[in-house]
Amino acid sequence: MQKIIDRLIFCFSGSFVNQNNEFIAHRRANEYFSLENCKDELDVKCKVLEWFSRGAYKTEPYSTERKNAEFHEFMLQGINEFLDTEFTEEDMEVIYTYLGNAIKHEKTIRFIESGYDMAVLKGGE
């Protein structure tokens, strides 16, 4: 697990793991997830998609449009680097809609196992 955590920290510049075993991707925007129940890389990939898709798509921690766009790009780049994907902001909207906040965890697993086939998200349960 340490190699996976090290890779996360590398992909999200300025990130860290706090004393509560939470991965903090962006402190100001409060973008984080708990590592407590992550047993393997699949668990971490799920959390990256389920908890960071909102930040890459719509979270607005800043008062200016430019700074929020930079924040969205930061989150998107980190996600793409960690997952070795090329998602767009439009993809993040779909991912957040169908997987955000871990609303359909089993679908998140199917999405990852499909090689990130966007058709999986819009398909049936």
Decide if pLDDT at 40 tops 90. yes
* SS3 at position 38: coil
pLDDT digits (tens, 9 = 90+) for 49-102: 999 999 999 999 999 999 999 999 999 999 999 999 999 999 999 999 999 999
Cβ neighbours of residue 124 under 8 Å, at least 6 residues apart? Answer: none
**% residues pLDDT > 70 (the chain):** 98
Mean pLDDT to the nearest integer, 11-35: 97
Tell me the two tokens of residue 14.
């300025």
Mean pLDDT to the nearest integer, 111-118: 97
Mean per-residue pLDDT of the chain: 96
pTM of the model: 0.95
**b/e per residue, 9-39, with b = 16+ CB within 10 A?**
bebbeebeeeeeeebbbbeebebbbebeebe
